[in-house]
Amino acid sequence: MARPQLLLTPGPTPVPPEVLQALGRPVLHHRSPDFAEVFAVAQERLREVFRTSNEVLVFTSSGTGAFESAIVNLLSPGDRVLAVSQGEFGERWQAMATALGCEVVPLTYSWGERPRPDDLAGALAESEAETVFLVHSETSTGVVCELEPLLAVCADTGALSIVDAVSSLGAVPLETDAWGADVVITGSQKALMTPPGLAFAAVSGRAWERTATARLPRFYWDWERQRRVQAKGSTPFTPATSLVVALVEALELVLADGLEAAFARHQALGRGTRAGIKAIGLELYSPDDDSAAVLTGALTPEGVDAVALRLALRDRHSITVAGGHGELVSRLFRIGHIGHIGIEDIARALTAIEEELRDAGVDVEVGRGAPAALEAFGSVPA
């Protein structure tokens, strides 16, 4: 019998059964008191997860849409943006802002590097940009940057920060208000354990002030209209009401043991995954430390095609892992450890990887990765 795919990808991620059940409830109308009630709870829980007292805007879109909403509500044609990039998604935001008519000043690092506060300070002084893009967790490489000092640099110069937290929010610590982030963007389909289709933007008071003078064209993404209608318990256009219902369930689970417990679990899952990968004898691509709590990137041995390995995992073991981007496509695979997964899922994947490598002629001993992962994971509650 075909098994459902185990999604060990950094999004979409598996969702808990309670969330799937919530999706099966009768559809709510978006202009009804029933929906307004659910939406209010979603708002309250989102604020807790973002660690903000500000409004969190809810869009029916993917994370990319919410990032576009930030650009068109905060910038005018020709405005200069300092766009920090250390991988695929930073490059996407540079391209997006250029396409929308902004002047992009890139601060580009090699993939896998971490942005440095002094570089940012220098680039800000030189460019005099008043807006900065930052990617918290660069999903293409597994690198989570140290966001707090980067945000402090933005605050020192008065630049408005827009943070891509699509794969980090709920997975690793992010203090929207305490760290002074102006706009934080995320999506439903990653650490928030909800299917794809919703995206969120937490917006500071300073960012709201900027919207008054920003002149890029906007309609679906108009934050002001969004805020007005959200105050009445709905959204300007038909939202994915069933996803909002599911989100409420998911956030209850995320918050049940406190966010710190979720962060500790993701760290331990990362620790376990790295130990397993090393026990198999594979080289890590993502950092070999606890910052790599979102996903683990590993390289196949020379001559073993990572695409073929991923397809074999999918088709023979019902396990989906993510691939690499660009020139690393034939060597890199990425194991996500966010969402509704446990260390036993990682152990299953490690054994499947060993079997496939063995069948591809690699000298590996099947059965080393799983115990190493379980031991390194330790006794953190699942």
Which of 81, 132, 135, 147 is in the footprint of ligand PLP by CB under 6 A?
Answer: 135
Yes or no: say if 293 and 263 are a contact pair by the CB < 8 Å rule. yes
Q: Give the C-alpha distances (Å, rounded to integers) separating 140 from 41, 94, 137, 144.
A: 33, 16, 9, 11
Member of 55, 68, 79, 164 binding ligand PLP (CB under 6 A)? 164
Pick 139 or 230: Cβ nearer ligand PLP: 139
Q: Give the three-state DSSP class for 257.
A: coil
Instruction: Out of 139, 204, 273, 351, name the contact with ligand PLP by CB under 6 A.
Output: 139
Chain centre to alpha carbon of residue 204 = 20
Using CB under 6 A, which residues numbered 227 to 256 contact ligand PLP? none
Q: Are 105 and 82 in contact (CB under 8 A)?
A: yes
Closest distance between ligand PLP and the C-beta of residue 164, in Å?
Answer: 5
Q: Which stretch binds ligand PLP (CB under 6 A): 132-140, 206-214, 247-255, 360-368?
A: 132-140
CA triplet 331, 63, 26: central angle to 5 degrees?
A: 115
Query: Measured from the CB of residue 118, what is the shortest distance to ligand PLP in angstroms?
Result: 24
Instruction: Note whether 63 binds ligand PLP by CB under 6 A.
Output: yes
For residue 225, count CB atoms less than 10 angstroms from its CB and return exposed for 0-12, middle for 13-18, buried for 19 or more: middle
H runs (alpha helix) in the chain? 17-23, 33-50, 63-74, 88-99, 117-127, 147-157, 205-211, 223-230, 241-256, 259-280, 306-317, 343-359, 369-377
Listed residue (370, 361, 49) closest to 191, CA to CA: 49
Q: Which residues pair with 332 in a beta bridge?
A: 299
Piece in contact with ligand PLP (CB under 6 A), picked from 56-64, 115-123, 175-183, 310-318: 56-64
Q: Is 187 one of the binding residues for ligand PLP (CB under 6 A)?
A: yes
The closest of 322, 370, 276 to 8, measured between CA atoms, is 322
Instruction: Supply the minimum distance, in Å, between the C-beta of residue 315 and ligand PLP.
Output: 23
Comparison of 35 and 93: residue with beta carbon closer to ligand PLP: 93
In the complex with ligand PLP, the residue whose CB is nearer, 335 or 376, is 335
Report residue 158 CA to chain centroid gap: 26
Write out the DSSP string of 148-162: HHHHHHHHHHTPEEE
- The least distance separating ligand PLP from the CB of residue 255, rounded to whole angstroms, comes to 22
- Could you give the string, one character per residue 11-30, with x where binding to ligand PLP holds by CB under 6 A and - elsewhere? x-------------------
Residues 84-123 that bind ligand PLP (CB under 6 A): 89
The residue from 43, 167, 176, 235 that contacts ligand PLP (CB under 6 A) is: 167
> Least distance to ligand PLP from the beta carbon of 90, Å?
9
Distance CA 116, CA 351 (A): 38
Q: Interacting stretch for ligand PLP, rule CB under 6 A, among 15-23, 135-143, 201-209, 242-250?
A: 135-143
Q: Which spans of this chain sit near ligand PLP (rule: CB under 6 A)? A: 11, 62-64, 89, 135, 137, 139, 164, 166-167, 187
